[in-house]
Structures are given as structure tokens and as C-alpha cells.
Amino acid sequence: MAGSGKGSDGTAARFDYTLAFHRVDFRKRPDLYRVGRGEQGVLLVEPYKSELLPLWRFRTAELARQSSAAILRRFRAYGRRRDFVGMDMARKFLQMGYTRARRYANRRSGRKYAAGRLLPRTPDAVKAQAAQIFYAAWRTAAADPLYRRLMHEHRRRTVR
């Protein structure tokens, strides 16, 4: 669909894993950035990965609270600069905080399978709290009107 930032099948433009990520500064080249699905590229896109990764913690509810608040502050700072890529990367780190904390909330080892077999659930209430904290922050970021507007504009400009 031309102009929508979506492919001809109506899905979001795919994340481009063919880029030489170690050589691209996405702050200088936001035109190369693709949103993709979910958390795609969260640990590849620089300089944002290096700015956000040190803030990302989910071991306890208190660390999750501090971490999600710090990432949301960074999300808003990127927004003040109209830096969509930064906003999207911060949103992805919040989403990843939720998904990783949920993984460890379900199984203390964080592993779902071992030797091809599904491991039993071993619930962890602390990680479940951390997941809830990140979930709320992620949904706040994803619903932000400026973020949504900038995403629409970015997708419109970067359709291939």
C-alpha cells in the first residue's frame, strides 16, 4: 500500500538484516531504519543500543521500576528531538523488558526447552512483578500520540 509504510501484503516493512549494522549510525541515517515486528533489531541499531542497554534491568521489581522509568525518560527526550528511531528503540527495550521478565517469571532458568523437551514451569513472582512494570511502560510508549505520528511519517518516507 503506497504511502502507508507497509508492504504490498499490508504488513509492516520488514526489518533489514542485510545492513552492515556495525557501520551504520542510525541517528545520522534514520532513512535506513525499518521498524519491523516486535523487538527486531533492538540489539543492533546504534547508537541507541549503547544508550539504552545500560538502563535496562529487570531482576527485581524495584530495578524494573527504575529501569522502565529511565527508558521512558529517554523515550520522551528522543521525542522532544523528533527522533523517531530513538523513540522506537526505547519502545523496543521496554517491550523486551516485559518479554524477558515474563520468560523468567514462567521458568526460573529462562529456558523453555532443554534437550528438545518442554521444561516445567517454575513461577517466579518477583519476575512477574517486573514484567507487569515493563508492560505498563511499554504500552504507555506504544500509545504515545507523538510516537504514533512519527511512526506513520517514518513509514511513509521509508517505503521501498
Q: How confident is the model at residue 10 (pLDDT cuts 50, 70, 90)?
A: very low
Contact 94, 72 (CB under 8 A): yes
> Residue 107: left if φ>0, alpha if ψ -120 to 50, beta else—which one?
beta
CA distance 46 to 42: 9
CA distance 80 to 87: 10
User: Would the CA dihedral through 67, 94, 45, 111 be positive or negative?
Assistant: positive
Could you read off the pLDDT of 12-44 as tens digits, one per residue? 567 788 888 989 999 999 999 998 888 998 999
Query: Of all residues in the chain, what percent carry a pLDDT higher than 90?
Result: 74
Could you read off the pLDDT of 42-75 as tens digits, one per residue? 999 999 999 999 999 999 999 999 999 999 999 9
Q: What is the average per-residue pLDDT within 76-104?
A: 97
**What pLDDT is stored for residue 156 in this prediction?**
92
Q: How confident is the model at residue 130 (pLDDT cuts 50, 70, 90)?
A: very high
Lowest mean pLDDT among 2-6, 84-88, 104-108, 150-154: 2-6
CA distance 79 to 98: 22
Contact 56, 124 (CB under 8 A): no
Contact 101, 58 (CB under 8 A): yes
Helix (H) or strand (E) holding 140: helix 125-143
Residue 65 forms beta bridges with which residues? none
